[in-house]
């Protein structure tokens, strides 16, 4: 079984959302200094790299990252080719196909990871109307290949709110550059961070056999 890793490496200097904490990894115990082991202190935001959003990210009183449904994040999954979308994913991009339970959008964003670009504001995002369509269509998980499902500079955060209020798991920061559109199995396991508004995750696909 060939696993396809969709996860961004977590490292100091990696691209993070403007205003979010930078990643640091510092030695606390060190073999070179005579300690019994190497042990490090990791500092990172809850929305670093490949990660999931919990309802409380935007909904006051919403549930936390540790309470997200594992069933929503494991199972059959489709990767759709939306590389032709210029900026906003709209309902017309979802039309004519039945919505799967888990859906990942491959867009031109994945090329940004491949090229090692710094943060870009002009990434492809999911519009409010498309988010409503996904929520009403019974999608349990939606995945995107940049650090937010929502356009940069959104004030109302309607896309996040639509999805989170409907219980849809939002998986962000995927790298789909090496993934062909099609049907797969997905395993996405975020850290069970109690009380947190999001959590870094490892996400892998494999082809259905």
The binding site for Zn ion (CB under 5 A) comprises 53, 148
Q: CB-wise, 53 or 78, nearer to Zn ion? A: 53
DSSP secondary structure string for all residues of 141-189: EEEESSS-SS-TT-SS-HHHHHHHHTTPEEEE----TT--SEEEEEEEE
Q: CB-wise, 53 or 128, nearer to Zn ion? A: 53
Sorted by sequence, the CB contacts under 8 Å of residue 192 that are 6+ apart come out as 65, 66, 199
Minimum Å distance from CB 26 to Zn ion?
A: 27
Minimum Å distance from CB 155 to Zn ion?
A: 15
40: which 2 tokens? 């490090």
Q: CB-wise, 53 or 145, nearer to Zn ion? A: 53
- The C-alpha angle 130, 161, 87, rounded to 5 degrees, equals 40
Q: CB-wise, 53 or 64, nearer to Zn ion? A: 53
- The C-alpha angle 148, 152, 153, rounded to 5 degrees, equals 135
Minimum Å distance from CB 179 to Zn ion?
A: 20
Minimum Å distance from CB 180 to Zn ion?
A: 26
Minimum Å distance from CB 173 to Zn ion?
A: 9
Task: Write the burial class of residue 88 (CB in 10 Å: 0-12 exposed, 13-18 middle, 19+ buried).
Answer: middle
Catalytic residue among 57, 93, 157, 160: 57
Q: Taking a C-beta distance cutoff of 8 angstroms, is the pair 79, 54 a contact?
A: no
Task: Write the burial class of residue 131 (CB in 10 Å: 0-12 exposed, 13-18 middle, 19+ buried).
Answer: buried
Q: CB-wise, 17 or 206, nearer to Zn ion? A: 17
End-to-end C-alpha distance for the chain, whole angstroms: 9
Q: Is 57 marked active-site?
A: yes
Q: Taking a C-beta distance cutoff of 8 angstroms, is the pair 150, 129 a contact?
A: no
Which residue is closest to Zn ion by CB?
53
Known catalytic residues are 57
């Amino acid at each position: 079984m060939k696993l396809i890793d969709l996860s961004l490496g977590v490292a100091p200097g990696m691209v993070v959302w403007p205003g979010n904490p930078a990643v640091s990894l510092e030695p606390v115990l060190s073999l070179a200094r005579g300690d019994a082991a190497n042990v490090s202190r990791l500092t990172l935001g809850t929305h670093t790299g490949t990660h999931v959003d919990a309802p409380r990210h935007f909904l006051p009183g919403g549930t936390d990252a540790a309470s997200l449904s594992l069933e929503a994040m494991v199972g059959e999954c489709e990767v759709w080719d939306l590389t032709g979308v210029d900026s906003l994913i709209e309902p017309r991009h979802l039309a004519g196909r039945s919505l799967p339970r888990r859906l990942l959008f491959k867009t031109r964003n994945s090329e940004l990871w491949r090229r090692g670009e710094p943060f870009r504001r002009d990434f492809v995002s999911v519009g409010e109307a498309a988010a409503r369509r996904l929520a009403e269509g019974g999608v349990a998980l939606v995945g995107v290949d940049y650090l937010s499902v929502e356009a940069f500079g959104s004030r109302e955060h309607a896309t996040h709110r639509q999805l989170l209020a409907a219980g849809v798991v939002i998986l962000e920061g995927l790298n789909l550059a090496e993934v062909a559109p099609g049907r797969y199995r997905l395993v996405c396991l975020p850290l069970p961070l109690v009380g947190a508004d999001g959590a870094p995750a490892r996400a892998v696909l494999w082809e259905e056999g």
